[in-house]
Amino acid sequence: MNKLINDPANVVSDALRGVADAHPDLRVDHEQRIVYRADSPVRGKVGLISGGGSGHEPLHAGFVGPGMLDAACAGEIFTSPVPDQMLAATKAVDGGAGVLHIVKNYTGDVMNFEMAAELAAAETKVAVASVVTDDDVAVQDSLYTAGRRGVGVTVLVEKIAGAAAEQGRSLAEVTDVARAVNANGRSMGMALTSCTVPAAGKPTFELPDGQMEIGIGIHGEPGRRRVPTASAAEVAEMLVGPILSDLDFTGGSGVIAFVNGMGATPMIELYVMYHEIATILAKAGVTVARTLVGSYITSLDMAGCSVTLVKADDEILGLWDAPVRTPALRW
């Protein structure tokens, strides 16, 4: 296993030490494995927390900072954090305006965030709301998931809801914005290689050279089908086609188009893909209003990519454009 790690058992805690060392404007609770904005709680602002299994970096810790998340709870690799972490984060980021939980739709995450919300209701006066992202059109149910999986749209929900919270909107308003982004977002991904979980020490699945998996999940869950590798133009069709079939993306103020690398995909390939995707969207009459190209929700060292589209109105675009200052997204 060729990885830049120490003991496979300590990858998450070692990485959190690196996050703390590299980013003095974050505060890391190493015991609870929670990454905070150093200035949290922000009085009067809705607190945003997210979290999930590790291995998807920069999601979620890389999105903690002004204009995005107040805290991120890190689980073990591909394993949900526990309710105690989410409860601690909920208490810590509450600035008096309530806390929104942003949860990817995986059984463990959903259950543990629900339990944390119940504990918060029992133990505290903090108002808690939650949004569950479920944007992956590839499969209906899957390993770890009832319903659709939450993938790329989560990054956009965190950015856009984060901006709404920063503007001082109420918990109900921030929750509505987050749900609207998820409802108007669809994604699909593919893999050229498996990822390797450090503790397992071998690839999660076998993908022979010359084959690719279309509709892959971010934990290496099976997708729709395995097919021979194809050109970027053909891969773009295989990903964008199902997304456009699932929701009408024409009209409105256009879409936010997000092309994401799965962890081991070089930028040059993401730009080749982006051109093919932009070409398909133009032919389909879909206007691209904003773009994001890079590796933001990954699956360890998997090679491959995903496409996420969010249909936007001017309000959503304004929130997208609002300033953000996190390790992985800043403008």
Which listed residue (14, 25, 118, 314) binds a copy of itself by CB under 8 A?
Answer: 14
Decide whether 125 or 331 has the Cβ nearer to a copy of itself.
331
Decide whether 58 or 98 has the Cβ nearer to a copy of itself.
58
Q: According to CB under 8 A, which residues from 298 to 327 bind a copy of itself?
A: 298, 300-301, 303-305, 325, 327
Two tokens at 287? 């206007």
Decide whether 305 or 312 has the Cβ nearer to a copy of itself.
305
HSE-up (13 A, CA, CB side) for residue 110: 15
Q: According to CB under 8 A, which residues from 125 to 144 bind a copy of itself?
A: none
For residue 263, what are the β-bridge partners? 302
Residue 148 to residue 134: CA distance in whole angstroms:
5
Which listed residue (32, 50, 54, 306) binds a copy of itself by CB under 8 A?
Answer: 54
Residue 209 to residue 229: CA distance in whole angstroms:
9
**Are the beta carbons of 89 and 55 closer than 8 angstroms?**
no
- In the complex, the smallest distance separating the C-beta of residue 71 from a copy of itself, rounded to whole angstroms, is 17
Active-site residue list: 56, 219
Residue 124 vs residues 82, 94, 116, 173: alpha-carbon distances, Å: 18, 10, 11, 22
Q: What is the CA radius of gyration of the chain?
A: 19
Please tell me whether residue 210 binds a copy of itself under the rule CB under 8 A: yes
Span of 50-58, 64-72, 91-99, 169-177 interacting with a copy of itself by CB under 8 A: 50-58
Contact string (CB under 8 A) for a copy of itself, positions 212-231, x = contact: x----------------x-x
Decide whether 3 or 225 has the Cβ nearer to a copy of itself.
3
**Are the beta carbons of 54 and 171 closer than 8 angstroms?**
no
In angstroms, how far is the first alpha carbon of the chain from the final one? 37
Residue 45 to residue 259: CA distance in whole angstroms:
31
Please tell me whether residue 78 binds a copy of itself under the rule CB under 8 A: no
Buried/exposed 247-261: b ≥16 CB within 10 Å, e otherwise: eebeebbbbbbbbbb
- CA 260, distance to chain mean position in Å, is 10
Decide whether 121 or 225 has the Cβ nearer to a copy of itself.
225
- In the complex, the smallest distance separating the C-beta of residue 27 from a copy of itself, rounded to whole angstroms, is 16
Please tell me whether residue 171 binds a copy of itself under the rule CB under 8 A: no
Q: Cα angle vertex 278, ends 216, 330, to 5°? A: 80
Please tell me whether residue 244 binds a copy of itself under the rule CB under 8 A: no
Decide whether 5 or 111 has the Cβ nearer to a copy of itself.
5
Q: Which residues bind a copy of itself (CB under 8 A)?
A: 2-7, 11-12, 14-19, 21-23, 54-55, 57-58, 62, 192-193, 209-210, 212, 229, 231-233, 235, 259, 263-276, 278, 288, 291, 293, 295, 298, 300-301, 303-305, 325, 327-328, 330-331
